[in-house]
């Protein structure tokens, strides 16, 4: 390998290939990550779509790092595993995910704490449910770089949609990441996060502020209120075109408060503040 290429790989231990799937939900598209070196071969995280040109770019980036040996999936949403079957067919390498219940095409399951060698470093799988029950983040341990899937977003917000999503689990996962020593976070969508500590604190504060707004809104409805009645009060700062998505996150907040015994549900759909 060229000296120059070697030097670049040491400085930047991963390559990002942007998938051609931009949308409201995915921002500029999914960040597909290729990590590894000639010595150990490469791993690819989240091949997102089957587009020929894109898969070719992923394979080429893998070749520069010793060739792709495994396909890893952060979670089973189509914008993170939509290209996995096509890539597996072309390369004949296995697909690894947290569970087959989450990613039915997975060949192997990766449990929390599993480690895969990549060059001089190792990639640690961290089970981080919240956005989805099967969500894994991958930590490049010595470099302190976290590949965060949809636990954080470089742009926009992360949707927590029950029953796949769970606000209690989401906050616990963010707090777990706070205990790691991170230099940067590469999210599944949007730009790299270079201030992991403050970004994680911001995410937690934002959700707790929202929770407080839910409680304030519920206090206006002593007889209880439905999610659709609460949304405009809690998400007054969010465009009404996003209120259907906001209703999912609001439900996730209400379920967390219900678990904590702070609200109750009447007739299955009217939420009421307790105490």
**Catalytic site positions:** 79
Give ∠ CA 263-266-272 in degrees, rounded to 5. 35
**Residue 150 or 166 having the CB closest to Zn ion:** 150
CA distance 256 to 104: 28
Closest CA to 149 of 29, 30, 28, 27: 30
Does 166 contact Zn ion by CB under 5 A?
A: no
Closest CA to 154 of 58, 22, 28, 47: 28
**Residue 30 or 57 having the CB closest to Zn ion:** 30
Please report how close the Cβ of residue 48 comes to Zn ion at its closest, in angstroms.
11
Please report how close the Cβ of residue 189 comes to Zn ion at its closest, in angstroms.
9
Closest CA to 174 of 141, 210, 126: 126
Site string for Zn ion, 72-91 (x = CB under 5 A): -----x--------------
Query: Cα 159 to chain center, whole Å?
Result: 10
**Residue 118 or 167 having the CB closest to Zn ion:** 167
Does 134 contact Zn ion by CB under 5 A?
A: no
Q: How many residues at the interface with Zn ion, by CB under 5 A?
A: 2
Please report how close the Cβ of residue 149 comes to Zn ion at its closest, in angstroms.
7
Cβ-contact 94, 71 below 8 angstroms:
yes
Please report how close the Cβ of residue 243 comes to Zn ion at its closest, in angstroms.
20
Rama region for 156: left / alpha / beta (φ>0; ψ in -120 to 50; rest): left
Of the listed pieces 38-46, 71-79, 97-105, 172-180, which binds Zn ion according to CB under 5 A? 71-79
Query: What secondary structure does DSSP assign to 172-203, as a single string?
Result: HHHHHHHTS--SEEEESBSS-BS-HHHHHHHH
Does 150 contact Zn ion by CB under 5 A?
A: yes
Of the listed pieces 55-63, 69-77, 208-216, 256-264, which binds Zn ion according to CB under 5 A? 69-77
By CB under 5 A, name the binding residues for Zn ion.
Answer: 77, 150
């Amino acid at each position: 390998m060229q000296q120059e290429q070697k030097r670049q790989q040491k400085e930047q231990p991963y390559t990002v290939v942007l998938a051609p799937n931009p949308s409201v939900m995915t921002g500029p598209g999914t960040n597909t990550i290729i990590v590894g070196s000639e010595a150990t071969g490469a791993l690819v995280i989240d091949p997102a779509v089957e587009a020929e040109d894109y898969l070719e770019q992923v394979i080429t980036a893998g070749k520069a790092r010793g060739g792709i040996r495994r396909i890893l999936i952060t979670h089973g949403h189509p914008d993170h595993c939509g290209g996995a079957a096509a890539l597996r067919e072309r390369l004949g390498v296995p697909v690894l995910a947290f569970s087959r219940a989450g990613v039915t095409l997975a060949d192997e399951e990766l449990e929390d704490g599993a480690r895969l060698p990549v060059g001089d470093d190792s990639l640690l799988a961290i089970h981080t449910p919240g956005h989805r029950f099967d969500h894994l983040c991958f930590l490049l341990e010595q470099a302190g770089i976290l590949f965060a899937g949809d636990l954080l977003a470089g742009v926009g917000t992360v949707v927590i949609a029950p029953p796949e999503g769970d606000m209690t689990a989401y906050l616990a996962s963010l707090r777990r990441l706070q205990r790691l020593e991170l230099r940067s976070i590469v999210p599944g969508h949007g730009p790299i996060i270079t201030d992991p500590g403050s970004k994680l604190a911001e995410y937690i504060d934002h959700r707790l502020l929202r929770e407080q707004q839910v409680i304030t809104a519920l206090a206006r409805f002593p007889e209880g209120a439905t999610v659709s009645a609460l949304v405009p009060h809690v998400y007054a700062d969010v465009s009404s075109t996003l209120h259907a998505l906001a209703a999912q996150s609001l439900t996730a907040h209400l379920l967390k408060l219900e678990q904590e015994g702070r609200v109750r549900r009447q007739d299955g759909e009217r939420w009421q503040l307790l105490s």
